[in-house]
Amino acid sequence: MEVETRLHASDFERRKLIANTEHLIPTCKLNCCAEISEFSEISACESFIVGIVTSVKAIKAIKTIVKNDGTQGLNMPNISVRQLHYFLALVQVGSFSRAADMVGVTQSTLSAAIQTLEAELGVKLIDRSGRRMQLLPAGEDFMARARNIVALIEELPEHARQAERPLTTRLRMGVIPSIAPFLLPKVLPATTCAFPELQLTVREGITRSLLDSLRSGSLDVALVAHPYDLDEFEMVELGQDPFFLAVSRDHALANRDRVDASDLRDQPFLLLETGHCLREHVMAAIGSKPTQTDSGVHATSIMTLVQLVDFGMGVTLLPEVAVKAGVTRGTNLSIVRYEGQNNFRSLVLVWRANAARRSEFQLFASHLRSSCMKLT
């Protein structure tokens, strides 16, 4: 794999960094060309190389990971980004002819590239015996990793530019519905003011969907709630979000200063529908199973839960971020502090652990965290 980096001929520090990189990954040759400089700061050069190192390591690992015969590939697999694009196009459309049209080559060219890829890996990725191609188990595993690698490589040029001027281009953020309408209006203005060139796009979705988008590279960061299975991602906690009990004003618990799980036994509990992490967090907070708490009424939003409680259909726990945003304004509800072992959730910003723009995401998280702290 050959990557060209253009440097000032007199820049000793950059050349030292290049030498260290070549030592780390000897199969990756970096050509130092004098006279033209793409990087005016060592940080930009260093960040670009970090991205290259991450990408190359991922490609080196893929040969060993995909093989299922117990052997390990010790040499750098001769895999090109073009081959990965061809393979992913084939997976997407399920047809050699349509995939060839998608990437702008002949069907024979695409088929030969896939065969070369399989030969290099030493495993079959695709079953061609039927009328429609099917992914084999090795192909399924390779697909997920190939998507990750392509996303990483596509980030490299932008990341190199961003190292000098962070948060000045596009940032795609996903946010779960139990956070987005309540927190974003309060924390984003300060961040966008600090980075006026930031092109922020926001997509709302449940946690599982947002994490899938992070894996595929269609999102850069996601604002979600913890606990959740986030081990494969890098995570920064922005703050804690305590729970409060919401009951109608004529409810027996309405005038209490605080309640705990023992006070909620046999109460008709209203929950969000399955798939929303807030549902799991609330059930963990009250220490009950769904069959013990579920009233049979499933809402798709916190606003709907509030209206159902106001109508007298049950009780629920609301996160503080929603309460402070005035979600119960205009209702006849009482809000009571909830105490218990799991009486809060954590608001976290997450991204792929191998993201090339990691330093940018950390900076973005730092500004969000500062804004969250001012709300407490």
State pLDDT tens for residues 274-300: 999 999 999 999 987 644 455 667 799
- In whole angstroms, what is the distance from residue 10 CA to residue 294 CA? 70
The mean pLDDT value for 79-107 works out to: 93
**Apex 165 CA angle, 152 and 216, nearest 5:** 20
- Answer whether 0.75 is exceeded by the pTM: no
137 and 177, same domain (yes or no): no
Cis peptide before 227 (omega within 30 of 0): yes
The mean pLDDT value for 72-101 works out to: 84
160 and 256, same domain (yes or no): no
171 and 115, same domain (yes or no): no
- In whole angstroms, what is the distance from residue 301 CA to residue 271 CA? 9
89 and 224, same domain (yes or no): no
173 and 151, same domain (yes or no): no
The mean pLDDT value for 341-346 works out to: 93
Residues whose CB falls within 8 Å of the CB of residue 4, separated by 6 or more in sequence, listed in order: 30, 31, 33
How high is the pLDDT of residue 151? 83
Higher pLDDT, 102 or 53: 102
Range with the largest mean pLDDT of 92-101, 137-146, 225-234: 225-234
Number of domains in the chain: 2
Report CA torsion sign: 160, 164, 167, 169: negative
CATH code of the domain in which 170 resides: 3.40.190.290
The mean pLDDT value for 95-111 works out to: 94
Query: 49-58, 198-207, 233-242, 309-318: which range is least confident on average?
Result: 49-58
β-partners of residue 3 are: 30
198 and 266, same domain (yes or no): yes
The two three-digit tokens of residue 80, written as one number: 């090109």
How high is the pLDDT of residue 61? 56
- Of the candidates 137, 146, 29, the one whose C-alpha atom is nearest the C-alpha of residue 79 is 146
Domain span at 282: 165-376
- Work out the pLDDT band at 165, boundaries 50, 70, 90: confident
252-266 pLDDT, tens digit per residue, is 999 999 999 999 988
* String of DSSP letters for 305-316: HHHHHHTTS-BE
**Range 181-214 burial, b when 16+ CB lie within 10 A, else e:** bbbbeebbeebeeebeebebeeeebbbebbbebb
- Work out the pLDDT band at 133, boundaries 50, 70, 90: confident
Last residue of a domain, one of 143, 164, 185: 164
Higher pLDDT, 64 or 170: 170
The two three-digit tokens of residue 375, written as one number: 């709300």
How high is the pLDDT of residue 162? 63
